[in-house]
Amino acid sequence: KNYRRIPVLGRVPAGIPIEAVEDEVDWEDIGEEFLRTGHEYIGLLVKGDSMLPNYQDSDVLIVRLQPSAETGDDAVIFVNGDDATFKRISRAPNGIHLRPLNPEYDPLFFTNEEIEELPIRVLGIAVEVRRKLRK
């Protein structure tokens, strides 16, 4: 009844940061619970397995666009301006850890200086995951 279509804009790597490409690949409907917040949302396809078991390759993330994330948030982050990755945020006094959930991958750490210089920028946080049972 009350919903809005949002674009699914390409893939976000759950692995090594790679260049973000914003191709409109699909659409997802979001309901009233999202519309009431006043935030903007996009969909992104997960690429890779560094965020297993919570997020699988080809899952669709519903991402709330916002410029910051707190410790424990699963966020889409731009590294070096154009390279995107999807990781769990862990803030420290001297920088930020971008942590995969899959123990086979190493976390990334950026100092406060690197956050400013590279830069490291949050696109938004995952608020929902959608999975198709069959492709």
Q: What are the backbone angles phi and psi of residue 115, rounded to the nearest 5°?
A: -55, -40
**Contacts (Cβ under 8 Å, ≥6 apart) of 19:** 82, 83, 84
From 1, 58, 68, 87, active-site residue = 87
Our answer to whether residue 47 is catalytic in this structure is no
From 1, 50, 90, 135, active-site residue = 50
Our answer to whether residue 1 is catalytic in this structure is no
**Contacts (Cβ under 8 Å, ≥6 apart) of 71:** 89, 90, 91
Q: Rounded to an integer, what distance in angstroms lies between the CA atom of residue 47 and that of residue 55?
A: 9
Q: What is the dihedral of CA 70, 73, 78, 83, to 10 degrees?
A: 150
Residues with active-site annotation: 50, 87
